[in-house]
Structure 1
């Protein structure tokens, strides 16, 4: 009879399958993630077949020039701040909160100018905003 105590084998954690699974997950995430560089995008503004604009009392047409100047219903604004735009929109909104703002921005207008018009509309409480496009025949 063998009365010597047995040497217990230490349990061993095999890390190789764990590393394999982690590498597969890493490769999957690398392949499924899209990396886009917004600064390198070449944008072309949309062209739509739109009907001729009619003079409607609920519409407020905001024109944004290429240099960032504004005009509300064909009246040029002196200032370029959001507060100036909000005051002009408030006075032009004859239909109140039901007024529709049509932003007609030049293709070369700064993006910030259009965002400023949208911010002014939010401050006044006008939430119906749309964008004007040029017709395909006019190009």
Structure 2
């Protein structure tokens, strides 16, 4: 028996449509994704037993993280230099000569960072300073 051999074409997988689909998905996810940068610092406040006072509405708030990073009115600063902190406070003053300053520092913040914030405010003539704390947990 003499069987006739069939001419078999070489099987090849065309990857071009697959690559097109992958690029379309990549572009779709790049366009539909939103990139947000959170400026909030994680802060654990120290405790104090004094009654809380209402903070003035137009107060400048300086947040200091446990690692000594500064944020003025929820805007993070690029570094922890005294001049950078002073420039940020001047910018937030917006032409006002004085404003109350509320310093919110983490319980584990180095003392130097808090003193530097107080010094920056003092050099700008801001003398109405407050340091925020939290009420201790009541144990009965």
Q: Do structure 1's residue 66 and structure 2's residue 66 form an aligned pair?
A: yes
Q: Return the structure number with greater helix share.
A: 1
Partners in 2 of 1:61 and 1:135 — Cα distance? 19
Q: Under a length normalisation based on structure 2, what TM-score does the superposition of the two structures give?
A: 0.59
Which consecutive residues of structure 1, in runs of 5 or more, have no partner in the other structure? Answer: 1-43
Q: 1:119 to 1:53 in 2, by over 3 A?
A: closer
Equivalences, count? 94
Once the two structures are superposed, residues 6-57 of structure 1 have per-residue CA deviations (whole angstroms, 9 ceiling, x without a partner) of xxxxxxxxxxxxxxxxxxxxxxxxxxxxxxxxxxxxxx75244425657x12
CA RMSD of aligned residues (A): 2.5
Change in Cα spacing, 1:103 to 1:119, as seen in structure 2 (3 Å) is same
Residues 135 and 116 from structure 1, CA distance in 2 versus in 1: closer, same or farther, beyond 3 angstroms?
same
Q: 1:135 maps to which residue?
A: 135
Counterpart contact for 1:48–1:134, Cα < 8 Å: no
Structure 2 residue runs of 5 or longer lacking an equivalent are: 1-45
Tell me the TM-score normalized by structure 1: 0.59
